Every structure is written in C-alpha cells, then in structure tokens.
Amino acid sequence: MKKNIEIRWHGRGGQGAKTAALLLADVAFSTGMHVQGFPEYGPERMGAPITAYNRIGDEPIRVHSNIYEPDYVVVVDETLLHSVDVTNGLKKEGGIVINTTKSKEEIVPLLKGYEGNIYIIDAHKVSMATLGKYFPNSPMLAAIVKISGVIDKETFLSHMEASYMHKFAKKPEVIEGNMNALKMAFEEVN
C-alpha cells in the first residue's frame, strides 16, 4: 500500500455511508494502520446528501480537513450522480465505485469526463440476497476494500466479523447476513 489512501463517500442520510466509513476506520486501526474516519456535518436528514471520509495508511496522518483530492470515491446512491459532482478532485490513478444496476457505459456520461477506473456493484441485489433488506453499506464497504487494496481480503473479513460480533452482540442473527454481504460484494464488484 502507498503511504496514505484517501477515500470520499457520497450517500444519502440513512443509507449507512457514515457508518461504513467509520467501520472501515475501525477495522484498519485494528490492523495497526493510522486512520481517520469522519462525516461532514451539515443539515443532514433522512435522504439528504451526505459526505464521509477516510484516511488510511502506514504513516501518521497529520492533516485534519475534508478530503478534496481523494484516491477513491464511493457512491452509495447513484441518483447523486445527477446532483453532486462526485468526481470533483478524484485522482485519475484511483477509482470510483458506484452502487448501480447500470453498465459502466451508461454511467460514464454522468461522471463529468472522469478518465480513471470505474467500478460498479449492485449493492441492492447483494443486500437483498444476503440480508433480506436493503442495506447498501456492507456491500459498498467490501467493494472499496477490494478495489483500493487498503486491507487484505482475509484480514478485512476476520476483523469485520469481530466488529460485527461486538456491534451486534444483542442481535447475533444479523452477523451471518452481513458477513455474507461482504463476501458476495467482493465477488460482485467489477
């Protein structure tokens, strides 16, 4: 991994983008990396656009600001492509992962000329198949881990299982579904 990777998340309130960014920071921290995971607060409400951020790396992180030139962008809700410039500042060497049922060819015109790597995943399909409800954050979390290579897959999965066991101690029935969502997302993102 390079020194530090910066990730910007775009979602809507209630979709779990903030939670996914914080989970990624927790898991990376538990593997010994330096991390930041934080949301950008504004007048958030259910369904309103939100932004969250991650900085992860082997070197200490001395910057404490929003991320303006991310290596990677995660778009949890494809409708944001019409109203938010999700590729603003996105490095060509990085990539963008989008939750969509559309093909990459259909998505490209919505990315304002971005020429870097584009990845898609149908997080709705993954979450419905594994959780029975639409929770896109677990599939999107696994997708960004895969495309960025920020954490090795097996390390990520074992640390996520431990995190879920702690988080869902009073609801252990949801652990298996979330783990299956992560595993399926690793296979589905392309």
Amino acid 181 reads: A
pTM comes to: 0.94
Report the DSSP pairing between strands 72-75 and 34-40.
Answer: unpaired
pLDDT of residue 96: 98
pLDDT of residue 46: 76
pLDDT of residue 169: 87
- Low-confidence residues in the chain, pLDDT < 50: 1
Q: Which helix (H) or strand (E) holds 95?
A: strand 95-99
